[in-house]
Amino acid sequence: MAADVVTLSSADTVLGKPVSIRVEGGNVFVNDAQVIITDVEASNGVIHVIDTVILPPADAPADLPATGYSTASNMTLILAGMGVVLLVLGLAFRALRPAWLVEKSR
């Protein structure tokens, strides 16, 4: 929870890279990003929202954590997911389209 975070001076990211944590004037900062929303409970932990993206150092390429799947498998899953989203959006548009649009198409 937020009360625990303010007692830390640093924390490790998923990539194992450290980020600094500091408190200034009642505001909490992670590196240069300000924490704007705290203690959002999720099924696997707690989320603290920051106001900017934190990027890994430019001199060290980011190695993503291993998923156990090949790149091709991951791309297939992403494309399949995008297809499902597009299908759902298309069906939602068809079901919720305005009456004036239905009249023009007849």
On the question of pLDDT at 87 being above 80, the answer is no
Residue 24 within any structural domain of the chain = yes
30 in any annotated domain: yes
- The identity of residue 88, as a single letter, is V
Looking at the structure, do residues 10 and 40 belong to the same domain, yes or no? Answer: yes
Residue 12 placed within a domain = yes
- Residue 76 counted as domain residue: yes
Asked if residue 38 belongs to a domain, the reply is yes
* Terminal C-alpha separation, the chain: 57
Percent over 70 (pLDDT), the chain: 58
Q: Is 63 among the domain residues?
A: no
Q: In the prediction, which pLDDT does 81 show?
A: 72
- The verdict on residue 10 lying in a domain is yes
Alpha-carbon gap, residue 73 to 94, rounded angstroms:
32
Which residues are bridge partners to 49 per DSSP? 37
- Predicted TM-score (pTM) of the model is 0.50
Q: Which domain holds residue 97?
A: 71-105
Higher pLDDT among residues 61 and 86, named by residue: 86
Q: For the chain, how many structural domains are there in total?
A: 2
Mean pLDDT of 41-70: 74
